[in-house]
Amino acid sequence: MRKKLLGVLTASLFALSPIAAAEVQINGFASVVSGIDLEDDGQSAYGSRTVDNLQESKVALQWTADIEKGLRFVGQTMARGDASTGFTMNYDWAYFDFNVGDAGKLKVGRLRIPFYKYSDYLDVGYAYHWITPPASMYSLSFSNIDGAGYQQNYEMMGMDQSINVVIGAYQGDLSVGGNPTASSLENFLAINWAASIGDHEFYAAYAQADVYIPAAAVAGLAALAADADDVLINGDYGHFFGLGYKGQFGDLAVYAEYSQVGIDDSILSDTAGGYIGASYNMGEYTYHVTFETSKADEKSYTGGNSGTDIGLATTIGAAQASAVATATLNQTDPVAAATAAATAVVTVETITPGTYSSGSDLNSTSRSLGNGDSSTITFGVRKDIGASTALKLDLSLYTEDRVQTDQITAVSEEMKATTLKFAIETMF
């Protein structure tokens, strides 16, 4: 009886609630992407043996509830495809926004970070001509934070302008050497300025945060450095800077973006990248070409045991040296030896230190985490079908010149990928 009364009371509260009477609008979008790498160098996310239909496919629902007096709730869930695990569901957006005067908006909740030109609709493939935005620019593995944001629109110097400020924190997986680690970005701040005049659009973005990536592999490598804090990612200053432009000249459009990303006093490399491209519209068809480039500069170390072979570094301890040797013999993961060194427990008395050689040291491992140059040329065509569906075909020619392993003797190698992709993308 008590449960029945509680159920009736709950239903009554929802029936009387203004939220229940809110106007709710549901929209969605979907992309089905197929691709194959025509090379055998293993540099593409797609395999070279068969067509992959999951790697970049996605489907999402977004709902908007207009509550009252300028108050609104926006939520978005998305299922992303992955070649190894299938589709994975995530809750990407969940925030309230409030109108502030006639030209301001305050948002509170899980928000999209305004890093790029296409940040607001980054996942909506129908919104742009590529199947995938240029990876040299759109390279960060996260795009949302939990916090608050404020956007102010205004007119100045004959241009429509806006300032968007977001503060908050991120908690989720970030990778070191391809190994996901539960990480956090604290004291996060992002500022985006955008302006438009006629058919020309400009933007500039800056972001910073205290970065924490407590990877066991990094902890093992830190033991080799003269100052462990120069290797560890323990609250270090992470920063992002980006610029962009888009211009429309009749049926011809040109566009460009450039960014720099780094985490000071850490083992992760500093990167810079960007692209320039053009598209031409002919009725239902859009033809486009894009050239992109990126560069990674690894961190280098002196002093301590930075130049000592990881397997022979007696200061790590005999137990860790043995573990490093075993890991090196059994696997080729660039940071596996350091992971073993940080976590292995064996009997010291049974090991003779300085017996094994891994062929890598702190600097060679740092280099393997990010170094060298890469470039991509993408040719593509898009055909619009009706008002909300498009077919796309992209051919991307990728070349990189970088060291491929953590070995001290390793030299730069040129590797290639030729990726052919087809996509059907829609909004509903």
| Per-residue pLDDT reduced to its tens digit, 34-79 | 999 898 777 777 776 667 777 789 999 999 999 888 899 999 999 9
Strand, helix or coil for residue 88: strand
Degrees to nearest 5, angle at CA 402 with 396 and 408: 155
Degrees to nearest 5, angle at CA 334 with 330 and 338: 80
Nearest to 334 by CA among 399, 403, 261: 403
- Check residues 413 and 345 and name the one with the higher pLDDT: 413
What pairing do the DSSP bridges indicate for beta strands 270-282 and 200-212? unpaired
- Check residues 370 and 380 and name the one with the higher pLDDT: 380
Indicate if the pLDDT at residue 175 is higher than 90. Answer: no
Does a structural domain hold residue 167? yes
Q: What digits encode the pLDDT tens for the residues 254-297?
A: 999 999 999 999 999 999 999 999 999 999 999 999 999 999 99
The two three-digit tokens of residue 309, written as one number = 């072979």
Average pLDDT over residues 1-20: 40
pLDDT at 210: 98
Does a structural domain hold residue 373? yes
- The continuous run of DSSP H or E covering 318 comes out as helix 318-330
For the chain, the 3-state helix, strand and coil shares in percent, each to the nearest 5, are: 15, 50, 30
Are 230 and 300 in contact, with CB atoms under 8 Å apart?
no
pLDDT at 15: 41
Does a structural domain hold residue 188? yes
Average pLDDT over residues 228-240: 95
How large a percentage of the chain has pLDDT more than 90? 59
Q: What digits encode the pLDDT tens for the residues 12-45?
A: 433 444 444 568 899 999 999 999 989 877 777 7
pLDDT at 39: 86
Does a structural domain hold residue 8? no
Domain span holding position 51: 23-307+361-427
Does a structural domain hold residue 342? no
pLDDT at 374: 95
Q: Is 8 exposed, middle or buried (0-12, 13-18, 19+ CB in 10 A)?
A: exposed
The two three-digit tokens of residue 228, written as one number = 């462990």
Q: What digits encode the pLDDT tens for the residues 146-171?
A: 999 999 999 999 999 999 999 999 99
Does a structural domain hold residue 4? no
Q: How many other C-beta atoms lie within 10 A of the C-beta of residue 356?
A: 19
Q: What digits encode the pLDDT tens for the residues 373-391?
A: 999 999 999 999 999 999 9
Nearest to 193 by CA among 182, 180, 206, 183: 206
- Check residues 331 and 51 and name the one with the higher pLDDT: 51
How large a percentage of the chain has pLDDT more than 70? 83
The two three-digit tokens of residue 146, written as one number = 């939990």
- Check residues 180 and 27 and name the one with the higher pLDDT: 27
Number of domains in the chain: 1
Separation of alpha carbons 327 and 332, rounded Å = 8
pLDDT at 186: 97
Amino acid at 31: S
The two three-digit tokens of residue 142, written as one number = 């996260």
- Check residues 139 and 112 and name the one with the higher pLDDT: 112
Q: What is the CATH number of the domain that holds 216?
A: 2.40.160.10
Does a structural domain hold residue 11? no
Site of tokens 């500069």: 297
Strand runs (DSSP E) across 142-251, as ranges? 144-156, 159-176, 179-197, 200-212, 234-249
Does a structural domain hold residue 324? no
